[in-house]
Structure 1
Amino acid sequence: MQESEMLTGWPGEGAGEERPAGSREKGLNRVLNILEFLHANQRAIGIGELAKGLNAPRSTTYTLVRELVEAGLLEMAGDGNRVYFGKKLYLYGMAYMRGNDLLRRGRQEVDTLSRETGETSELCMLQSGRYTIIHSSPGTRPFRISSATGLQIPLPWTASGRLLLAGLDRSRIEAMVTEDDLVLPDGRKIEIDDFIDDIARARVTGYCVTSGLVDAYTKCLAAPVFSAPGKVEATMCLV
């Protein structure tokens, strides 16, 4: 049975019905919210939980999910009542990787770095104001830190975060960092002034080293990847 057939009993909104521009814009925003929610949770989500998490009407959520499943952007998982990303999004991602020189070359360099050092190596970028692991290559040592592509981590927890924010003024940095972001997993708090000082120091030295932030055994060395105009577009790091 095709995934879309599982949805035929769901409430709908009249096929082919023309919606006002404002309604279409609102619908698009809800689609983006669905995708962002799934990405943040990193697992298949029940439709009811999805509607509740987005604070959206259940009937509207059912309708949007059905349309996304029919388009191949989402797929039903498990018993057919949970939904997750579809194969078409994977194909879009592969096309993006082939067309993005920074990502393509960055992946190659990260794999080489991991192979030559035996350490876990990562390519990281800013995505929606968050530190995001774009590509990760595991180390070969018996003790190594595990990391997952797509994982988003608060900027103050990372060496890369200090480099990715280099060049931004204080007001923009403060707008991107919440109070919760400044609290480390063990409960310690990083003062915003100290974090901004670290960013300035990383900009001057051209690299950043952090130790014991995420856990007591983790040390990270990060270096910036610059665009032609001199902006930090990404980082490469050893963990």
Structure 2
Amino acid sequence: MTETAYPSDTRQETAATAGGERKRGIDRVIILLEALLRHRAPMRVGEIARRIGAPRSTTYEIVNRLLEADMLETVGADGHVYFGRAMHLFGWAYSHHNAHYPRIVEALDRLAGDSGETAQLCGLRGNKYVVLDCRDSTGPFRISSQIGVEVPIPWTASGRLLLTHMSDEAVRAFVPAEDYRLPDGRLIPQEEFLADIALARRQGYSESAALADRFTWCLAAPIRDARGGVTLTLCFVLPVDTPEPRRIELLAMLRERAASLDLMGE
């Protein structure tokens, strides 16, 4: 049996093309799942194809494979699809494998129960802020947040803490210029935002009032990883007219609970 002779550059090009196709296929799966996560509701395959910019035939192929793997499931009789039971199992596996996570969830439950206020666990996804978990207030003025919705970092108290490991130059490169524009049209000056990060770094907590909306006051405290970096925060979201003595009391509680979750020294 003889081997077909290829010039070395042709073989490399063929391998690179095959690798590129595989990479694009994997990327499309990720983009498809991200599209469903952002939409937060079932979609038709045609709509998914438009959102991710992929051919309808390719999208159907990906969706059918994910349906077979129970990563997606059909919803209703009109062709909509959404996350399937396998996604629950992946989340369950993560929460049970990560020994630190149950401690954080327990602390979040206690924080909300002891305070009666809306308590959140927050972090970053790429260059956006997200609420990773939330316990709503039990009071008459109920503030809640959508878990997993990506929000510009400058709109949040937590965002200032989550960037405290960065230099000013790194922050300028990391945060898109359009993210300094608040929902009501106000513009946060970049230098003011950098000063807020420096203040959060010095004092070990962050506060913001009437940013993402004009009705809330946010308190955030860092959860430090084994290297001392801030990758997660605990937060209170309060009515903007919460009296100062109450805010001081809640901030002390928040900082104490967050510090108890630090991994430094473990």
Aligned partners of 1:232, 1:94: CA distance in 2, in Å?
24
| Residue of structure 1 equivalent to 2:204 | 206
- Within 5 Å, give how 1:27-176 maps onto structure 2: 27-176=25-174
Q: Distance in 1 between matches of 2:227 and 2:210?
A: 33
Separation in structure 1 between the aligned mates of residue 200 and residue 190 of structure 2, nearest angstrom: 15
Q: Which residue of 1 aligns with 2:13?
A: none
Q: Take 1:80 and 1:28, find their aligned partners in 2: how far apart are those partners?
A: 27
Of residues 56-65 and 99-108 in structure 1, the stretch that sits farther from structure 2 once superposed is: 99-108
How far apart, in 1, do the equivalents of 2:188 and 2:99 lie?
A: 35
Runs of 5+ consecutive residues of structure 1 not aligned to the other structure: 1-18
- Give the structure 2 partner of residue 230 of structure 1: 228
Q: Residue 153 of structure 1: CA displacement? A: 1.5
Structure 1 runs of 4+ off > 4 angstroms? Answer: none
TM-score by length of 1: 0.88
State the identity as a percent: 43
> What RMSD, in angstroms, separates the aligned Cα atoms of the two structures?
1.4
Rounded Cα–Cα distance in structure 1 between residues aligned with 2:103 and 2:132: 12
Classify 1:174/1:80 alpha carbon distance in 2 versus 1 (closer, same or farther; 3 Å): farther
Q: Secondary structure at the match of 2:213?
A: coil
What is the rounded CA distance, in whole Å, between the counterparts of 1:216 and 1:178 in structure 2?
Answer: 23
Structure 2 runs not aligned, ≥5 long: 1-16, 238-266
Give secondary structure in 1 for the equivalent of 2:169.
Answer: helix
Aligned residues: 221
- 1:178 corresponds, among 176, 179, 182, to 176
CA distance in 2, matches of 1:183, 1:171: 20
CA–CA distance in 2 between the matches of 1:41 and 1:154? 17
Structure 1 28/199 Cα, relative in aligned 2: closer, same or farther at 3 Å? Answer: same
Counterparts of 1:5-44 in structure 2 under 5 Å? 20-44=18-42
In the alignment, the residues of structure 2 paired with residue 172 and residue 78 of structure 1 have an alpha-carbon distance, to the nearest angstrom, of 47
Tell me the amino acid that sits aligned with residue 52 of structure 1: R
Aligned CA distance change for structure 1 residues 143 and 37 (closer, same or farther; 3 Å): same
